């Protein structure tokens, strides 16, 4: 029982495509509108036709009443052979004349039934009295009959109008309306299916591309979607998303490869020194101190490398929420911290509006890396390290520069100083992992800016980045 419940509960519901949903919805809306319009149109037409027929019949009866009231008339005046009888015999109108006792003097075509009320009207002393009969069956047709007295007991005239042909016409109109509504509904369904197929064709392409990515895990596919509507925008956004995911995957792969390569050197040195620890009793005191110092230095370098890798990975994750920040205030905090750590003079110059939308933790990390880098390469210098924050260089852009009087960067290295793990030949003897400036580049790109570096006039380096082009 439980197994059956699992099988039933685990059954996937049947998926209904967007194309089918759209086509059915389009056909249903069209059907509802068509039926409503058809019913209203038929009802209005039927009402107008019936009212028109009733109005015509009422006018005929009124004309007859006026005529018999104004003139003293006898049954013979309304005989089919009498001149002027067409005045009371319009189209689809039947006239039958009754004598004083109610008998038929001049039968109609077809003959009309005579009731007791008609006999009393024929013998009435007052002219123009009327007895009406609705829905009178005469043969296979339906009539409306009105009997008008001639007055003085001289008889009466029966006027009848056929209504069954009008009802037949309305029934034919009803059948045609139903057939037309059915044709419109079918046409709407076919048109809705064609329109849904046309609209969802590009969505199907997107769906196939997404399923292909999920199945093959290949992010470098091209999404063949064009157009400038919402589907086109979705396709381009999906294509850009795949591009960024592919780039992120490639960056992660290169980061792991480069990190593995950089970690091998300190780890190999650590293993070598650790193996010497087994013979530490055999080493002279000077060698022992040198060995311990090397181990401490290698452990620090390895720790710094791991910390910078963590910082770089954290910078790529962009998990810090953006907020309104003042870059000059961040630079002041970084300068104060660098003064306490290094004992060097750190000067800050700020100009213009230096507020922007950004992630303060990432900006602090980037500025700290620049200042620490300047201090490290100018350890023996006496000139202060300068931080310049200027904004806006162009609308919405803030420029951050760190200037030092160190040995500078060779022209051949200027284009590569922001690459991961890249270290110039002159800097390989100094501690560091080569990730500090790479983090600066990631932060700048994440804030819609770019890093830059160039030789400072008079010696030294100017290195920095721009922010404010929009968070990425």
Cα 436 to Cα 372: distance, rounded to the nearest angstrom: 9
Cα 434 to Cα 451: distance, rounded to the nearest angstrom: 15
What are 76's two structure tokens?
A: 């013979």
Q: How many whole angstroms from its chain centre is CA 328?
A: 41
Comparison of pLDDT for 271 and 432, the residue scoring more = 271
Which residues does 221 contact at the CB level (< 8 Å), separation at least 6? 209, 212, 213, 242
Q: What's the pLDDT band for 452 if we cut at 50, 70, 90?
A: very high
pLDDT for 331 equals 93
pLDDT for 425 equals 45
- Can the peptide bond before residue 246 be classed as cis, meaning omega within 30 degrees of 0? no
Where residue 471 falls (left for φ over 0; alpha for ψ -120 to 50; beta otherwise) is beta
Across the range 290-301, mean pLDDT stands at 75
**pLDDT tens per residue, range 148-195:** 888 888 888 888 887 766 666 777 777 888 888 888 888 887 887 887
Whether 4 has a pLDDT exceeding 70, the answer reads no
Beta bridge partners of 157: 97, 148
Whether 2 has a pLDDT exceeding 60, the answer reads no
Angle at which helix 164-216 crosses helix 18-70, to 10 degrees, equals 170
pLDDT for 387 equals 94
Cα 51 to Cα 59: distance, rounded to the nearest angstrom: 12
Cα 139 to Cα 430: distance, rounded to the nearest angstrom: 121
Residue 268, judged by CB atoms within 10 A of its CB (0-12, 13-18, 19+), counts as exposed
**pLDDT tens per residue, range 17-66:** 676 777 777 778 877 888 888 788 778 777 777 777 778 778 888 888 88
DSSP code for 163: -
**pLDDT tens per residue, range 394-432:** 766 899 999 988 887 777 777 777 776 665 545 444 444
Comparison of pLDDT for 298 and 82, the residue scoring more = 298
Contact 182, 155 (CB under 8 A): no
Whether 357 has a pLDDT exceeding 80, the answer reads yes
pLDDT for 73 equals 82
Residues in the chain: 472
Which residues does 28 contact at the CB level (< 8 Å), separation at least 6? none
**DSSP state string for 239-286:** HHHHHHHHHHHHHHHHHHHHHHHHHHHHHHHHHHHHHHHTTGGGS-HH
Which residues does 123 contact at the CB level (< 8 Å), separation at least 6? 100, 101, 102, 153
Whether 369 has a pLDDT exceeding 50, the answer reads yes
Whether 443 has a pLDDT exceeding 50, the answer reads yes
Specify the residue for token string 């009327």: 130
Cα 236 to Cα 48: distance, rounded to the nearest angstrom: 58
In 3D space, the residue among 159, 150, 186, 178 whose CA is nearest the CA of residue 76 turns out to be 150
Whether 141 has a pLDDT exceeding 60, the answer reads yes
Comparison of pLDDT for 262 and 437, the residue scoring more = 437
**DSSP state string for 65-117:** HHHHHHS---GGGGSTTSTTGGGG--TTEEEEEE-TTS-EEE--SSPPP--HH
In the chain, DSSP finds a helix count (H) and a strand count (E) of 9, 12
Fold of 20-169: Beta-Lactamase (3.30.450)
pLDDT for 464 equals 92
- Mean pLDDT lowest for which of 176-180, 255-259, 453-457? 255-259
Contact 383, 455 (CB under 8 A): no
CATH 2.40.50.100 is right for the domain spanning 320-467: no
Contact 88, 60 (CB under 8 A): yes
The percent of residues in the chain predicted with pLDDT above 70, rounded, is 79
Q: How many whole angstroms from its chain centre is CA 372?
A: 48
Comparison of pLDDT for 82 and 279, the residue scoring more = 279
Q: What's the pLDDT band for 330 if we cut at 50, 70, 90?
A: very high
Comparison of pLDDT for 67 and 93, the residue scoring more = 67
pLDDT for 434 equals 60
Say if 20-169 and 219-318 have the same CATH topology: no
**pLDDT tens per residue, range 95-114:** 888 888 888 888 888 888 88
Across the range 388-397, mean pLDDT stands at 80
**Which three-class secondary structure state does DSSP give residue 139?**
coil
Which residues does 365 contact at the CB level (< 8 Å), separation at least 6? 311, 315, 439, 443
pLDDT for 137 equals 79
pLDDT for 179 equals 85
Q: Where are the domains of the chain?
A: 20-169, 219-318, 320-467
Cα 355 to Cα 328: distance, rounded to the nearest angstrom: 8
Whether 433 has a pLDDT exceeding 80, the answer reads no
Among 275-279, 302-306, 325-329, name the most confident range.
Answer: 325-329
219-318 in CATH: which number? Answer: 1.10.287.130
pLDDT for 471 equals 66
């Amino acid at each position: 029982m439980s197994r059956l419940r699992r099988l039933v509960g685990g059954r996937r519901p049947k998926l209904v495509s967007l194309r089918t949903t759209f086509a059915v919805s389009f056909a249903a809306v069209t059907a509802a509108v068509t039926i409503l319009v058809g019913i209203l149109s038929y009802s209005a037409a039927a009402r107008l036709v019936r009212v028109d027929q009733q109005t015509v019949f009422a006018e005929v009866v009124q004309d007859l009443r006026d005529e018999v009231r104004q003139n003293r008339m006898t049954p013979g005046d309304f005989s089919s052979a009498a001149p002027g009888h067409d005045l009371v015999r319009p189209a689809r109108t039947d006239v039958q004349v009754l004598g004083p006792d109610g008998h038929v003097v001049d039968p109609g075509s077809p003959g009309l039934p005579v009731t007791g009320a008609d006999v009393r009207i024929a013998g009435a002393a007052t002219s123009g009295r009327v007895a009406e009969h609705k829905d009178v069956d005469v043969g296979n047709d339906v009539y409306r009959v009105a009997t008008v007295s001639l007055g003085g007991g001289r008889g009466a005239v029966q006027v009848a109008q056929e209504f069954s042909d009008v009802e037949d016409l309305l029934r034919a109109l009803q059948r045609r309306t139903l057939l037309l509504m059915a044709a419109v509904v079918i046409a709407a369904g076919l048109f809705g299916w064609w329109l849904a197929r046309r609209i969802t064709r590009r969505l199907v392409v997107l769906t196939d591309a997404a399923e292909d990515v999920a199945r093959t895990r290949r992010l470098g596919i091209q999404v063949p979607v064009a157009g400038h509507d919402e589907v086109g925008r979705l396709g381009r956004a999906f294509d850009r998303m795949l591009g960024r995911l592919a780039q992120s995957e490639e960056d992660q792969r290169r980061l792991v490869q480069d990190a593995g390569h950089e970690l091998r050197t300190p780890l190999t040195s650590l293993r070598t020194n650790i193996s010497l620890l087994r013979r530490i009793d055999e080493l002279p005191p000077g060698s022992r101190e040198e060995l311990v110092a090397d181990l401490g230095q290698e452990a620090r370098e390895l720790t710094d490398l791991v910390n910078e890798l963590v910082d770089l990975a954290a910078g790529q994750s962009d998990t810090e929420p953006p907020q309104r920040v003042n870059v000059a205030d961040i630079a002041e905090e970084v300068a104060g911290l660098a003064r306490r750590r290094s004992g060097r003079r750190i000067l800050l110059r700020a100009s213009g509006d230096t507020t922007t939308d950004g992630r303060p933790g990432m900006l602090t990390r980037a500025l700290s890396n620049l200042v620490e880098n300047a201090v490290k390469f100018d350890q023996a210098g006496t000139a202060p390290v300068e931080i310049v924050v200027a904004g806006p260089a162009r609308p919405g852009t803030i420029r951050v520069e760190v200037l030092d009087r160190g040995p500078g960067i060779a022209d051949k290295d200027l284009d590569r100083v922001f690459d991961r793990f890249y270290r110039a030949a002159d800097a390989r003897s100094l501690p560091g992992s080569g990730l500090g400036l790479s983090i600066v580049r990631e932060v700048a790109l994440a804030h819609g800016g770019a890093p830059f570096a160039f030789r400072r006039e008079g010696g030294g380096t100017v290195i920095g980045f721009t922010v404010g082009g929009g968070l990425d």
